[in-house]
Structure 1
Amino acid sequence: MRLIRARECRAMPWKNGGGTTTEIAVHPQGASLDAFDWRISMAHVGSDGPFSSFPGIDRTLAVLRGNGIRLAFSDGETITLDRQTEPFAFAADRAVAGQLVAGPIDDLNVMSRRGRWAHAMQRLTGPEPHVLEADAGLLVLVARTGGWTARVGAAIETLVPGDSAVLDDPARVELSANDPESEMFAITLRPMS
C-alpha cells in the first residue's frame, strides 16, 4: 500500500485554462495532460463553462462538495450530479458544458485512456466495514471526510480527508471509518492488455 498524503498532491491549471485541479495520481508518473494513461484529480469549479475535451479518454465524475452541477451534452442529453448521485461515467471527448446548480462545487475526476485502461469509481460511507480486493490492476482509495483505517495484511494505515492509498494486485484491504458520516471513494483501474 503506497500512501499519498494530501500535502503531496500538486495543483495545476485546467487544460482549457478555466480553473485549477489538484492531481492525486497519474500514470505514467509525471505524464502531461496529453500523455497520461490514467489520472485521478480533484477540482474546484467556480463558474459555468465547457469541459475540456480529452480525445480517446473515458471519464467519471463525482461531486464532493456544493449543491451540484448540471451537465449539458451537445447531443441533447442532460444530467444533474450532486452529493447523493452515483459517480457518473462518460466519454471525455464528448462535448459537454457544466452549469452550477447553486454556487461552486468540488469534484473528483477519474480519467483513463480508452483501449489501454478501464476504470470504475464507487462511493463508500461509514461506519460499517468495507472489504475490497485489488485484482488484475490497481485499487486507489481517496478519503473524503472523516478518518479511515485501512488494513492490508498486517499493515495498518490511517487516512484523513484528502489522503489517498494505492494498492497493487493482488491485495485485500479492510476499511473502517470512525464516523457514520465518513466518506471515501474507491477507484479500480485495470489494464486492457
Structure 2
Amino acid sequence: MRILRASDYRSMPWKNGGGTTTEIVVSPAGAGLDDFDWRISMARVEAGGPFSVFAGIDRTLSILEGEGMRLSIAGYDSVDLTRASEPLFFPADAETEATLAAGPITDLNVMTRRARARHTVRRVSLSEPLDFIAEATATLVFCHEGGIQIGESPTVALNARDTLWLDEAGQTFRLRPQPHAVVFLIAIQND
C-alpha cells in the first residue's frame, strides 16, 4: 500500500502543447508519454480544442471541477460530460475535440496501453463506510472531495486529491468517509 500525496504530484506540458497536466502516477515509474503501460493524471482545461492523440491507448475521462464539456469523438456521438456524469471510456487514438460548457474545467484522466493493460473507473459517493477488495494488478483510490480514513488500526488518512495505491490483488480495506467523500475507484489489470 502506498499513499500518493497531492503535494508530490508533478506537472508537465500536454503532448500537444495546449496546456499542462498534473501526473498522479505512471507505470513503469519514470515512463514518458510514448512508453507508459498506464498513467493517471489531472488536467486543467482553459479552452476548447483538440485532444492530444495517443496511439494504442484507451482513456477514461471524468470532470472534477467546472461546468463540464462536450466531447466530439471520431466515430461516436457527441457526449456532454459534467461532474455528475459517469466516467467516459473512449479510444485516445480517435480524433477528439472538446468544447467547454462555461469556463475552465479540471478533469481526471486514466490511460492504459491496449497491448499491455486495461482499466475501469468508478465514481463513488460515500456517506457510510465501504468495504472494498482490490481485485486488479493495481487498484487506486483517488479521493476527489472530502476525506477518508482507511483501515481500522492504525488508520491512514486521504485528503482531497490524495491517492491510495494498492499493487496486490486480494487486499481488503474499509474506506470510512470523514464525514462525506467522493472517490474514484480505479482498477488496472496488466495483460
- Relative to the length of structure 1, the TM-score reads 0.95
| Aligned partner letter, 1:68 | G
Residues 1:77 and 2:90 are matched in the alignment: no
Task: Give RMSD over aligned pairs.
Answer: 1.2
Q: How do 1:5-154 residues align onto structure 2 when only pairs under 5 Å count?
A: 5-75=5-75, 77-151=77-151, 154=153
SS in structure 2 opposite 1:7? helix
**Is contact 2:68–2:83 with CA below 8 Å preserved after alignment?**
yes
**Is contact 1:3–1:164 with CA below 8 Å preserved after alignment?**
yes
- Supply the distance in 1 between the matched residues of 2:75 and 2:171 (Cα, whole angstroms): 41
**Is contact 1:147–1:160 with CA below 8 Å preserved after alignment?**
yes
**Is contact 2:136–2:187 with CA below 8 Å preserved after alignment?**
no
Segments ≥4 residues shifted beyond 4 Å: none
SS in structure 2 opposite 1:128? coil
Over 3 Å counting, the alpha-carbon distance change for 1:81 and 1:127 in structure 2 is: same
| Aligned partner letter, 1:164 | T
How many residue pairs align between the two structures? 190
Q: Deviations over 1:136-178 (max 9, x none)?
A: 4111011111111111x75421000111110122211211111
Identity %: 44
| Aligned partner letter, 1:64 | L
- Supply the distance in 1 between the matched residues of 2:18 and 2:154 (Cα, whole angstroms): 41
- Supply the distance in 2 between the matched residues of 1:8 and 1:69 (Cα, whole angstroms): 28
Match of 1:167 in 2: 166
Structure 1 residues without counterparts, runs of 5 or longer: none
- Relative to the length of structure 2, the TM-score reads 0.96
